[in-house]
Amino acid sequence: MSFVKLLIKKPRNLKNDVLSGLTVALALIPEAVAFAFVAGVHPKVGLYAAFMMGLVTALVGGRPGMISGATGAVAVIFAPLVFHVRDTAISNGMSASVANSMALDYLFAAVILMGVIQIVFGLLRFGKFIRLVPHPVMLGFVNGLAIIIFKAQFGQFMVGGKLLAMTPLIVMGALIALTMGISIFLPKLTKAVPATLVGILVTSVIGHFINLQYPGMVRTVLDFVKDQNASLTTLKVGLPVFHLPNFPLEWESIQLILPYAFLAAAVGLIESLMTLTLVDELTDTRGKSNLESIGQGLGNFINGFFGGMGGCAMIGQSMINIRGGGRGRTSGISAAVLLLFFVLFLSPAIEMIPLAALVGVMFMVVIGTFEWSSLRLYKKIPASDLLVIILVSLVTVIADLAIAVFVGIIVSALVFAWEHGKNIHATKKVEGNKTRYDLSGPLFFASVTSFKEIFDFHGDTEDVYIDFQNSRVWDHSAIEALQNISERYNAVNKKLHLLNLGPDCKVLLANAQNIVELSIKEDGHWEHVADDALD
């Protein structure tokens, strides 16, 4: 992360937190609107989610400086639920307004259940398992996210599915370059204010004067909203109000929302905890994964009662915040509060912000997010690790963040098992009528085949000793392998002696045949084998 650290090393103070939060608030608005349309709901549902998720997680979450809000990952999961309920209601003869209201109630109920699941996850202290994510998976996750953020910006160059005309396209490119130039070079002159915020303000002023002379030349946030829904003429909304979802507490209805809630909870936690790990590395601090899980769950739980679509941590906005110097909880709180303030009182000003300014900021996020050093790792790391980095990056772009992480962990685990499965070996000694095997290396599912090939069942003497002093029995596959060789020695009328086994094996080998001696190691350093027989 050396390249990124050079970009984002900033002191922690209140001024940086507030100014960085202001930048984040501006960047949150168009994304919240876009994700609301993805989920098939009114923009205010996305804006409320961005406000409540940002505020709650900043107040009680476990990672100061990380930004949460309405996200595409959660929106994509809940969209089929919204459309299904709405279409079913309409097909049953209900009006469009009633169908929309019913779909929202089901959505809010699912978001509440999602929050409960995440809170339970945190209370059970399962957040620690994020430590099991290998570093190559993390690199692939980061690179994949950077590519996704980069690709997502090209939608701003399109109107009605078509590329902008040449002149507006050139103007937009120039404004993007201006925003990026300010972000890169202003910190060399002064660090008194976030460079990205200055870039947005300068570009907005220039874009406004261009539009005065040539109306419609510079696309704005309001233009983007109208592209999504021509009937919307403003972003202005009222305060979120408490609403108890009109959701039937019947098993059939619960069955409908349960899969969506579980999937959204899982994806939200994976994205949030992976982002937490990234922010930890970039700031050289450590967040609390279990507390963050509870914070995410509480944010979603409140969302469901106040008209929000739910969400999770946002990698792009978190990077904007970190780059701008936001380190404390104040940055997330100010981002959420300012977002609500803008849409309540300053929506005309926000609607005038050029999309080019926000695209330029996100391009800077891409540069800061992508792990450029990973491009130089060819022939410097094992081929399997390089494969995992590439695989996770591709799956993140093609499929989903959660799927990519799962695939990366599984592949890494299989590679680990394969490599360590080759490490088991034994030194054989024959003394009179005794054959002794001094075993070395872990005995588990990946090494049992090699383990069985060590022994000479017909050539060994009458008494065979296997010493586990430098080995360990890890799983049930290993126990089955011991059972198997005991039976094979028994078939040729030879006695097997197992020396220096862990105490767990005494329980698990209770049914093994012809084991005449079990020497149990009593040094207190053996861990239990994961098997129901021990519970």
User: What pLDDT, in 10s, does the model give residues 127-176?
Assistant: 877 777 788 888 888 788 788 878 878 888 888 778 989 999 999 999 99
**Which residues, other chains included, contact 408 with Cβ-Cβ below 8 Å and sequence gap of 6+?**
133, 134, 136, 137, 140, 141, 388, 391, 392, 395
What's the pTM value of the predicted model, to 2 decimals? 0.71
Whether 334 and 16 have beta carbons less than 8 Å apart is answered as: no
Say what the pLDDT of residue 249 is. Answer: 85
Which single residue is written with the structure tokens 């469901």?
304
CA distance 69 to 352: 22
CATH number for the segment(s) 422-534: 3.30.750.24
Number of H helices, E strands in the chain: 20, 9
Check residues 404 and 217 and name the one with the higher pLDDT: 217
410 pLDDT exceeds 50?
A: yes
Span 297-308, average pLDDT: 96
In this predicted structure, which of 187-196, 379-388, 425-434 has the lowest mean pLDDT? 187-196
Check residues 287 and 526 and name the one with the higher pLDDT: 287
What is the DSSP code (8-state) at residue 371? -
Span 444-467, average pLDDT: 89
Of the ranges 231-235, 285-289, 415-419, the best mean pLDDT one: 285-289
Say what the pLDDT of residue 507 is. Answer: 57
Q: Six-digit token pair at 525?
A: 């350093």
Which single residue is written with the structure tokens 């696309």?
219
For residue 519, what is the enclosing H or E element?
Answer: strand 515-520
CA distance 55 to 337: 7
Can you tell me whether residue 11 is helix, strand or coil? coil
230 pLDDT exceeds 90?
A: no
Quote the Cα angle for 104-48-55, to 5°: 135
Whether 343 and 54 have beta carbons less than 8 Å apart is answered as: no
Say what the pLDDT of residue 13 is. Answer: 79
In this predicted structure, which of 30-34, 448-452, 508-512, 514-518 has the lowest mean pLDDT? 514-518
Instruction: Report strand pairing: 463-473 vs 495-501.
Output: parallel
Calculate the average pLDDT of the chain.
Answer: 84
Say what the pLDDT of residue 12 is. Answer: 65
Burial pattern 181-208, b for ≥16 Cβ within 10 A else e, equals ebbeebbeeeeebbbbbbbbbbbbebbe
Torsional class of 350: left (φ above 0), alpha (ψ -120 to 50), beta (otherwise): alpha
Span 372-391, average pLDDT: 84
529 pLDDT exceeds 70?
A: no
Whether 373 and 160 have beta carbons less than 8 Å apart is answered as: no
511 pLDDT exceeds 70?
A: no
370 pLDDT exceeds 50?
A: yes
366 pLDDT exceeds 80?
A: yes
Say what the pLDDT of residue 532 is. Answer: 38
**Whole-Å CA distances, 103 to 52, 100, 247, 374:** 21, 5, 10, 44
What is the band of 510 on the pLDDT scale with cuts at 50, 70, 90? Answer: low
What is the band of 504 on the pLDDT scale with cuts at 50, 70, 90? Answer: low
Query: What proportion of the chain, given as a percentage, has pLDDT over 90?
Result: 35
Burial pattern 368-391, b for ≥16 Cβ within 10 A else e, equals bbbbeebeeeeeeeeeebbbbbbb
Say what the pLDDT of residue 96 is. Answer: 81
Of the ranges 152-156, 176-180, 250-254, 440-444, the best mean pLDDT one: 176-180
Q: Six-digit token pair at 143?
A: 């690179």
Provide the H-helix boundaries in 324-425: 329-345, 347-351, 355-369, 383-398, 401-421
Torsional class of 65: left (φ above 0), alpha (ψ -120 to 50), beta (otherwise): left
Whether 22 and 336 have beta carbons less than 8 Å apart is answered as: no
Residue 343 half-sphere exposure, CB side, CA atoms within 13 Å?
A: 31
CATH 3.30.750.24 domain span(s) along the chain: 422-534
**Three-state secondary structure readout of 308-321:** CCCCEECHHHHHHH
Whether 401 and 271 have beta carbons less than 8 Å apart is answered as: yes
Say what the pLDDT of residue 197 is. Answer: 83
Check residues 376 and 94 and name the one with the higher pLDDT: 94
pLDDT in tens, 8-18: 455 567 888 99
Check residues 396 and 276 and name the one with the higher pLDDT: 276
CA distance 272 to 268: 6
What is the band of 62 on the pLDDT scale with cuts at 50, 70, 90? Answer: very high
445: phi then psi, degrees, rounded to nearest 5: -55, -35
What is the DSSP code (8-state) at residue 375? G
pLDDT in tens, 328-363: 999 999 999 999 999 899 888 888 989 898 888 888
